Structure formats: C-alpha cells, structure tokens
Amino acid sequence: MKKFFLLFVFLVISFTNIQSQSARSNGTEVLPPEYKTIPGTSTFTGPLAASARAYQLLIHENLLTNLLNKEIVGISWRQPASSTAAWPTSVVNFITYDIYLSGSVPPNERSLTFANNVVGTQKLVRNGSLQIVENSYPFGSSPNEFGPEIPFNQSYSYNGGHLLIEIRHQGFSGTSRSVDAVSTSTAGYGTLFSGLWQSSYTPTTGTQGNFSILKLRYEDPIPVELTSFTAKVIDSKVVLNWSTATELNNQGFEIQRKIKSDTENEWERVAFVAGFGTVTQPKSYSYIDEVQSGIYLYRLKQIDYDGSFSYSDEVEVDVNLLKEFSLEQNFPNPFNPSTRISYTLPEPVYVQLVILNSLGEKISTIVNEYQMEGKYSVDFNAQDLSSGIYFYKLTAGNFVSIKKMILIR
C-alpha cells in the first residue's frame, strides 16, 4: 500500500512492506513437552523465590523443534499439583526480574559454573521489576494451569541448537512459592534438560537443581518491514532515505537505479548498504548518489543471509542541475478552482510567493519561508475568489517575477 503526501516535483515518498504480514501467528510450547498434560515429579523454589536467585535451564535441541525459526516472546510457570490455594495471596513485587536467552552446552555437559554453560552471546530479553497480582497462579487441577505470562521486552530468535534460559531476580517481600518441576532423578534429566541454581543474584558457581516446567510463547518471525523510502535532491545530489520497523535475517539493501525515459535500460546496481540482521526496533538508512540531470527511478533490493531477496516499490526523482531562478506559468490556466504554480531556485534563499488581485493588492500568501535549491510546485485553490484576472508574484532574494492567471467560474 502506498501513501502520498504533498510533494514537490523532485520528491516522491512511497510506503511499502517488502514482505507484508498483517498479523503474526503465535503459539506456546511446554517444556519438557510430555508434561503438558501431566504434573511434574517434584517441585522447585527458584523462579518464584522470595530471596535472590540465579537459575539456569538447559534444554536439548531435540525438544525445541516446534520453536525452530520462531521468535520467543514470553515465559510462564505453574504451581505444583499439590498446591492447596491460589498464589499469591497479595500482590508480589519483584525488585528485579531479569531473563537471558542464549545457546547452551548440551544438558549432559552442564557445568556448575554459570558462565561455562553459555554458548554465544546472552541476550537480555527482559529486565526490571515484576509485579504479580494476587491469586494469579491457579490451583486445583492436575496439572495446574500456568500462571500469568512474563512477557519479554525483546524477542529471541531461535534458529536451532541447545537453548539456555537464565533467570536472575532479587526476590520480593513475602512468601516464596515453589513451582512444578522435574526431579534430577527423573528420566530425561541430564540428557534432554538440566538445571543449575544459586541463592544469589550474581553468582559464579551453583548447584544442580530440579528443572522447572515452563511454557514459552512464540510468534512467527518478523519480516523486513520497510516503512518509508524517499528520494530528494539536495545540493544537486540525490539523497535516498529509508527506514524499517523490523528486520529478520537482513543482510542488507542493494540500491538500484535506472533512467526513466530509457524504457530498455536495465536496472543498475549503485551500492550496497548492510542491514542489521534481526531486530525489532526501527532502523534508518541513508545513501547519497551523484548523477547528471534527468529523471531517475530508484528501488531497493532487500537481501537475506540465505540469498533470498525482495524488491521495494520504485521512487522517482527529477534531477535538474539548476542554473537560474525561474517562475513558470501556472497550469492549468485558465483554471477553476485550483491550479499549480512551479518555480526553480538555483541556491538556498528566502522565498515569498503571493497572490495579487487585478489592482496589485496582496490577497494571499502561499509560501513564506527559507528554502533550499530545487524545483518546487505548490497548489493554489481559489474557491473563495470570484472570476477574473489575478497575478502571482515570486520573490527569492533579489529575484522577482510576476505572472498572470485567469480564474473562470
């Protein structure tokens, strides 16, 4: 879909989604998967402990096939089946509740040193305080329903391999709540999943711990969403600007150009601008191209790391290496009730464009501002004026020009 604003002749803006996606599908995955419908074999006081905790959960890639190439966006816990009341009985406020995701060593190679279990770079997907409202963790089922999701501030792109989830929190004022878990003696522990914990917010080493049953929420990956692509002439150069709302595996953008009047002319590769890979924050790009006078078309070829690509819509720019001031005849003329007035500025200057009646009296000011060099067009609407002869006057520095126009009702 394109959106067009009031533009000068030399400027065209188009809004495009390189890959359109009106809604992102999502789902959840319980880990370990077999405990989706059955309670765990034990409990663990870690994720919802009242005192400070650091807790690592190591998950084998064989349990994560449903998450492959998904964006993980939230986590939740549940009470053990043995719980006799909803939790908490009053609002709980964690001082700090931080969550990191990264690659992991295999669960059977888990170290008791926290740093040794991390593969690659840990991504802080959530930080800051956390509030849990009263009675939000239900009871009375086997297994119990999961409590409220703890949403991430940033999503985590899971592209394969073993997964490490690390929780670090500073506790809260109140009573701890154990969560449903799998004991260290249960089949699968130490091969498909494992846990490490310590009663500290910033520990170096820890102790083997039960694996808390968790639910991850995921969404389909975010496409490269191009939100704007503009071309304009500044100081006789074409300035291209574009921005993205989100990016997924974006290697970068190849800038392509062609002359509009040459229909047989192939698109020419101008330059390549590197992308940001996978990000969920807006990013901005810019490139300056030097060309001769003419009307040009530009487009972006967005390229993924796997070599796949998509094209943006085209933008058009009129490059006129300006040499002198000029005021063109309005068009159409005669007119009713609107007409367009165009003028050219070879240098930056303060511009005033006014409308005069047949007596030379000013009746309207159309432009009154400092403008850069370029070719400009503005629309004048005379719906409140009667038929007759009018004049428009351009003053740009020492340049003054007046032309006649005729309004016919």
Tell me the per-residue pLDDT of 53-77, one tens digit each, with 9 for 90 and over.
999 999 999 999 999 989 899 999 9
Average pLDDT (4-8) is 31
CA-atom Rg of the chain in angstroms: 32
Assess whether pLDDT exceeds 60 at residue 10: no
- Poorest-pLDDT segment among 57-61, 283-287, 293-297, 376-380: 293-297
Average pLDDT (89-118) is 98
Which strands sit side by side in the sheet containing 326-327, from one edge to the other?
A: 326-327, 338-345, 374-381
Q: What are the residue boundaries of the structural domains of the chain, listed by start?
A: 12-21+222-319, 26-219, 326-407
What does the alpha-carbon distance between residue 116 and residue 154 come to, in Å, rounded to a whole number? 24
222 — pLDDT class (breaks 50, 70, 90): low
What does the alpha-carbon distance between residue 131 and residue 126 come to, in Å, rounded to a whole number? 13
Assess whether pLDDT exceeds 60 at residue 175: yes
CA torsion, ordered 90, 91, 97, 100, to nearest 10 deg:
80
What does the alpha-carbon distance between residue 251 and residue 247 come to, in Å, rounded to a whole number? 10
- Common-topology check for domains 12-21+222-319 and 326-407: yes
Yes or no: say if 96 and 201 are a contact pair by the CB < 8 Å rule: yes
The predicted pLDDT at position 2 comes to: 32
Q: Which residues contact 243 (CB under 8 A, 6 or more apart)?
A: 226, 227, 228, 282, 283, 284, 285
Q: Can you name the CATH fold of 12-21+222-319? A: Immunoglobulin-like (2.60.40)
17 — pLDDT class (breaks 50, 70, 90): very low
1 — pLDDT class (breaks 50, 70, 90): very low
Quick: pLDDT tens for 127-162: 999 999 999 999 999 999 999 999 999 889 898 999
Assess whether pLDDT exceeds 50 at residue 388: yes
**CATH 3.40.50.10860 fits domain 326-407:** no
Model-level pTM greater than 0.85? Answer: no
